[in-house]
């Protein structure tokens, strides 16, 4: 009598396919939805070479290692240069109040430009966000100003 | 003679469950972003009145160690700020490229040129300034990813 050899190829059970698929769905859902994406939009105009023409009228905000200095040419309140401590808990509110006053009579995009210059390379990102947030809330348009390093030979 | 009433059985066919599950799986895989940057270690800064971005195609991140990433890939670990600025600006927009090959932002219309910025809250200005400048030079619309302030 001949004995039949059992085939080694066995089909996977089809009933398990739906379970596998549902586990994969849960895996992709969990992986996809954890990352936060909410934030704040900011449009910074491209650098232009002829910005110097407007420099005399532009509001300047300088970030120094210890202070935030706001310089408003032709200031109405008679205080063109005002300095705020970086660690002041009311910094945001103070900046908004100062800049709102400075921008009050200015119409048009060019007049509302606020030039931000950071003189402290170690200034943290959260401080930058707090200052730019105050400028935007006051109605200003942010422009980055870089300190040019000139080497004299 | 009493004829027994036939019972109508309304059951969901179990065989279809696998097909439904696989269709859902394909749907979620397509929806999931191709560029995953969930491995980057960073803590967002705080902000108020946060909004969702228009698009999520491009993301630039700076982690706790100050390493810059573009769409989840390390841009450079050793390059200085000027080199990072140039690399990033070229990757986002290359005006000399052929149509369709002008970088990640290319000729996308305004409103669809969003670049997500995921910058660790304590990153110093010297590290994040080149990124902001490169994105604005490439005509990108910055979207700072922040945490809602309590």
Query: Which among B32, B47, B117 has the least Cβ separation from residue A32?
Result: B32
Asked if residue A57 is part of any domain, the answer here is yes
Q: Is the dihedral of CA B25, B31, B37, B42 positive or negative?
A: negative
In this prediction, residue B44 carries a pLDDT of: 92
Question: A16-32 and B15-31 helices cross at what angle (nearest 10)?
Answer: 20
- Contact status, residue A30 vs residue B140, Cβ threshold 8 Å: no
Does the ipTM surpass 0.85?
no
Domain layout of chain B by residue ranges: 46-148
A22 in reach of chain B (CB within 8 A): yes
Q: Residue with structure tokens 């090959």?
A: B101
Bridge partners for B58 per DSSP: B115
Distance from CA of A131 to the nearest CA of B (A): 11
pLDDT of residue A128: 92
Quick check: B120 pLDDT over 90? yes
* In the predicted structure, residue A76 carries a pLDDT above the cut 60: yes
Alpha-carbon distance B103 to nearest alpha carbon in chain A (angstroms): 18
A92 falls within a domain: yes
Band (pLDDT 50/70/90 cuts) for residue B33 is: low
Least confident of A11-15, B25-29, B33-37: B33-37
Domain coverage including residue A89: 49-145
Whether A152 is in a domain gets the answer no
Are B52 and A25 an interchain contact pair (Cβ–Cβ within 8 Å)? no
Question: Measured on CA atoms in the order A109, A110, A114, A117, is the torsion positive or negative?
Answer: positive
CATH of the domain at A103: 3.30.420
Q: What total number of domains does chain A contain? A: 1
Look at A35 and B120 and tell me if their CB atoms are within 8 Å. no
Q: Could you give the CA distance from residue B127 to residue A125 in angstroms, rounded to a whole number?
A: 9
pLDDT tens digit string along A30-56? 766 566 688 888 878 766 554 554 555
Least confident of A65-69, A107-111, B137-141: A107-111
Q: Once rounded to an integer, what is the mean pLDDT over residues A80-85?
A: 89
d(CA A136, CA A142): 7
In tens, the pLDDT along A84-121 reads 999 888 998 999 998 988 888 888 888 888 999 999 99
Q: Is residue A44 part of a domain?
A: no
Q: Return left, alpha or beta for B111; rule: phi > 0 is left, psi -120 to 50 is alpha, else beta.
A: left
A125 domain residue, yes or no: yes
Number of H helices, E strands in chain A: 3, 6
Query: What pTM, to 2 d.p., does this model score?
Result: 0.74
């Amino acid at each position: 009598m001949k004995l039949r050899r059992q085939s080694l190829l066995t089909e996977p059970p089809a009933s398990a396919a739906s379970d596998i698929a549902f586990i994969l769905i849960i895996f992709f859902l969990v992986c996809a939805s954890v990352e936060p994406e909410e934030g704040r939009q900011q449009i910074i105009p491209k650098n232009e070479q002829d910005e110097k023409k407007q420099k005399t009228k532009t509001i300047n905000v300088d970030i120094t290692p210890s202070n935030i200095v706001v310089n408003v040419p032709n200031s109405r309140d008679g205080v063109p240069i005002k300095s705020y401590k970086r660690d002041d808990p009311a910094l945001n509110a103070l900046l908004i109040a100062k800049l709102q006053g400075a921008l009050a009579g200015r119409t048009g995009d060019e007049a509302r430009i606020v030039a931000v210059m950071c003189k402290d390379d170690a200034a943290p990102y959260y401080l930058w966000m707090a200052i730019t947030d105050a400028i935007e809330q006051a109605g200003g348009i942010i422009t980055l100003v870089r300190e040019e390093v000139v080497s004299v030979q | 003679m009493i004829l027994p009433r036939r019972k109508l059985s309304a059951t969901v066919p179990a065989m279809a469950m696998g097909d439904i599950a696989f269709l859902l799986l394909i749907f979620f895989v397509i929806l999931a972003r191709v560029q995953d940057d969930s491995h980057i270690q960073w803590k967002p800064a705080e902000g108020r009145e946060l909004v969702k971005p228009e698009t999520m195609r491009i993301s630039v991140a700076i982690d706790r160690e100050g390493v810059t990433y573009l769409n989840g890939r390390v841009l450079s670990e050793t390059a200085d700020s000027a080199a990072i600025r140039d690399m990033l600006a070229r990757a986002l927009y290359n005006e000399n490229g052929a149509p369709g090959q002008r970088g990640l932002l290319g000729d996308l219309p305004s409103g669809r040129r969003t670049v997500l910025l995921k910058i660790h809250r304590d990153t110093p200005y010297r590290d994040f300034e080149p990124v902001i400048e490169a994105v604005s030079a490439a005509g990108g619309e910055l979207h700072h990813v922040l945490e809602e302030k309590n």
